[in-house]
Structure formats: C-alpha cells, structure tokens
Amino acid sequence: MKPHWLDRPENHRKLWVGFITILIFTILAEFVWPIHGHFEIESLTGFNALYGFGTCTAMVAFAKLLGLWLKRPDTFYRSNDSELTSAEAHFKENARANPEANSEVKATGTAHE
C-alpha cells in the first residue's frame, strides 16, 4: 500500500518551507495593513504569531497533563480474567503455551499462523 503523502519523507521539507513562508507573509502583512488592537501589546509586530504559537503550545501541554490524569490501565473495566472476551482468552492461552509466537506478535503487531 502506498504511504499517505504526509508520511513520505520527501514532503516533510516542503511542508516546513510552506508553513514558514505563510508565517513570514503573515508577519509582513502587518506592515502593510495597520493593526488596531484593543490593547497596546496587540500593536507589536509579530504579536499575533507569537500569541498563536504560545496558545497552541499551552493547549498541547494541557492535553498531555490531562491525559496523564485521565489515563487508566488496560484492565480498568475488567476485575478479573473471567471477564475476558473469547478472543482475549484465546490469545492469553496461546501466549502461555507458545511464548515464541507471542514475541512475534509483539514485534510485528500481527500473528502469523
């Protein structure tokens, strides 16, 4: 299967160049069109770009902290092995019987029979 165009390494540099170009044009546009902000700090050149970057960084940091707080173990809704689904029980039984197959599943993400 062909990888998505965003996953191809040759497109990573093109994306960075495009994003930086848009950022530069956004900052240069502030010299052409005057900004009339409500507060004095809004009139500074590049304020909107810095504010957007800072806000995005804060949202990512908050999401990471929220994820740490909300994270639950895989067995959170399962009190014991009697509540395993038939597929989970089958996999667990096969993993005990054949440890080599279990390591293959961990390495590749799929079971080969």
The pLDDT tens digits for 55-108 are 999 999 999 999 999 988 877 776 665 666 677 777 777 777 776 665 555 555
Q: How many residues does the chain have?
A: 113
Tokens matching residue 56: 């995005």
**Cα-only R_g, the chain:** 25
N-term to C-term CA, the chain: 22
Tokens matching residue 19: 């994003």
Q: Where are the alpha helices (DSSP H) in the chain?
A: 9-32, 47-70, 86-97, 99-108
pLDDT at site 48: 86
- What's the whole-model pTM score? 0.50
